[in-house]
Amino acid sequence: MEQIVEYLSQAKIAERVQELGAQIGRDYKDRRLVVVIVLKGSFVFAADLVRAIEIPHMRIDFLGVRSYGEGTESTGVVQITNDLSKPIEEEDVLLVEDIVDTGLTISYLLDLLHTRKPRTLKVCSLLHKPARARIQVPIEYLGFTIEDKFVIGYGLDFAEKYRNLPFLGVLQRAEG
Ligand code: IMP
Ligand code: MG
């Protein structure tokens, strides 16, 4: 049996997302921002984040990525399942991720997007799990640093489940 224990409440997440959005709005004021949403995990976070960024010139694009099988360990192998719909050359690009765990996924994506010559390329991640870092990556906008726990909800899944939970939780295996 699995039990879900709340880790970060809806209210706490919402408050932090508003702060991040306001900060990004200030930093990219007068810029034409391309928000690149990394699917699938960050779709819920990104939907709230973009509505908290008050700038007139924003374009949104999606990058589909698969870095896991059904397990909870990063394989380091990143598969692009859906590429951007337009070039990003000379654009100010903000890559939006749900969580930076080992860092392998974001590192791969930064290398890939740099080859397309954006004007600037920065990272916004809701969560960071530094305990498991295998490669250091810059995260210019970070929601929360978390402990070494496998979290679910608010877009994050375990074997494709729990993405629709409105808060962030931790799965606990009840004995028996
Ligand atoms: P990394 O390559 O190890 O940094 O893993 C990044 C990806 O693994 C994230 O975009 C998530 O999709 C997934 N991931 C890592 N940790 C968790 C977790 O605690 N819960 C759910 N997904 C996770
Ligand atoms: Mg995922």
The verdict on the CB of residue 118 being under 6 Å from ligand 1 is no
Note the helical H segments in the chain.
Answer: 10-27, 43-50, 104-114
Instruction: Decide if 99 contacts 129 (C-beta within 8 A).
Output: yes
**Active-site residue, 101 included:** yes
What confidence tens digit (pLDDT) does each residue in 24-35 have? 999 999 999 999
Q: Where are the beta strands (DSSP E) in 67-138?
A: 79-82, 92-100, 120-128
Can you tell me the distance from the alpha carbon of 174 to that of 157, in angstroms, rounded to the nearest whole number? 19
What confidence tens digit (pLDDT) does each residue in 96-133 have? 999 999 999 999 999 999 999 999 999 999 999 999 89
Roughly how many angstroms between the first and final C-alpha of the chain, as a whole number?
A: 8
Tell the residue number behind the tokens 């809806």, with chain if given: 10
Closest ligand to 109 CA? 1
The whole-number average pLDDT for the span 133-155 is: 96
Ligand 1, atom 15: nearest CA belongs to which residue?
101
**DSSP state letter for 170:** E
Instruction: Please tell me the CATH code under which domain 2-173 is placed.
Output: 3.40.50.2020
The verdict on the CB of residue 101 being under 6 Å from ligand 1 is yes
CA 44 and chain centroid, separation: 9
For residue 101, how far is its CA from the centre of ligand 1 (angstroms)? 5
